[in-house]
Every structure is written in structure tokens, then in C-alpha cells.
Amino acid sequence: MLSKSAARAFFLVGTAVCSLAFVGLTVDTFGRIPEQTHSAAITPEVARGKVLWEASNCMGCHTIFGEGAYYAPELTTVYERRGPDFIRAMLRDPEAMYPGQRRMQNYHFDDRQIEDLLAFLKWSGAVDLNGFPPKPTLMPVAVPVPGKDGAVATSIDRPQIFNQMCVACHALGGQGGALGPALDGVGMRRDAKYLHDWLTDPHAVKADARMPKLPLTPGQIDELVAFLSHLKTGGTP
């Protein structure tokens, strides 16, 4: 058992060591902030986007950096997850992207405001948060592709635009949204021409289609048609 003097010395030494460790960790943390936050990348567009984010009370529904509400999706890494084209379309007209479903208010942002918010969200996604939030696990899907000698090789990559836009509403292999039909086996149900026409303008194929006309380039449409055409059964070619 410690004597009073030994206990006092143990307390004082322990307090001093813990205080030094705390100060050291604090200094180290503040030293890491510029690198982890990529402060050099905070452009005027990023700053304006942050001001607009706060003025529009986006955190009243969304979460960013672990702070905010949980009514709507978490947006820290939304730039990587959904891509700039999807975000632009969503900010321009939320109802058009999710007819009769999405309750996000249309703030009627102009083009500059949309680009400022995009810059802010892009910067947010690049901040080093030590693995937070975790990236979603999307199953790779084998896609036959022609090899140099004419033989069929296999790629396990599915188009980035598919993971950014399509899975927001559609499921494949049990992963994705439930607003639209699952795309497992869609290559057996629809031919390439139908898929191309549908992706180009769903309402030209079906007047009352719930799917919006997505901001897809001709190259992205061709890429998606090639991918979807190979989905024969169970989400895999």
C-alpha cells in the first residue's frame, strides 16, 4: 500500500505524463489537419458551396462528416458514389429524378450555385476521415468482352456510371435500390435496341414511364447497353 507521499507523487507524475501526452496528441492532430482536409484545395467555389450548404440548411435532412440529420442520404462521399452528372440533375429538379417519390425540396439553384455545391461536395469527399464513412460493397459482375485474338475474355468491372446512377433505383444481385425493377436477367427480357432507346429517353418508349431521362452521354449509353445486354441470369452474364 502506498504511503501518502508516494500516492501524492504517483498522482502528480501520472497527471504530468497524461497532460504531456494529451498536449502532444493535440499538437499532432492540429499538424495533420491541413493535409487531411486538403485545405489548399479550398477554392472560392468550395467556400461558396459551403455557405450555400449552410444557408439552405441541408444538414436539416442530410449528414456530412457525421453531423446532421438522418432523414435523407449521407453526403460526405456522394460525389464519388453518385458522380457529378447525377448530383447536378438532382439539384436541378429532385422530383424529375424520383417522380412521386423523392421529398427533397427544389431550391431552384442556378447553374453557378449548383457548380459551387458540387465543388464543396467534391472537396468533402476528398477529406481524410480515417475510413469514414465506409464505402459500399458492390459485387463485381463478370462481363464477357472480346479479346485481341477474337476470343472472349472476362472482365469483372461494371461501368462506373451503373454504380453511380442505376443502382440508386435498381437492384442487381440483391444490391441497389427498390424504386425500379431489378435488372437481373434484363439481357434476356430486352434486346440492345430497346435498352438503347430506353436509356436515351424512357418517355419516348413509354409515355407514363416513371424513370426520368438521365443525363447520359452517347458513350455512357453504349457502355450501359453493352453491360445490360450481357445480364442473362441472376445478375451475372
Share of the chain above pLDDT 70, in %: 88
What number of CA atoms fall less than 13 Å from residue 63's CA on the CB side? 11
In CATH terms, the superfamily for domain 39-126 is Cytochrome c-like domain (1.10.760.10)
Q: With residue 154 as reference, give the H or E element that holds it.
A: strand 152-155
Q: Name the least confident of 15-19, 84-88, 177-181, 196-200.
A: 177-181
Helices (H), 111-189: 111-126, 160-164, 186-189
- Across the strands, what pairs with 153? 145
CATH 1.10.760.10 domain range(s) in the chain: 39-126, 143-229
What CATH class has 143-229? mainly alpha
pLDDT surpasses 90 at 144: no
pTM, full prediction: 0.69
Q: Give 75's contacts (C-beta < 8 A, 6+ positions apart).
A: 58, 62, 63, 64, 121, 124
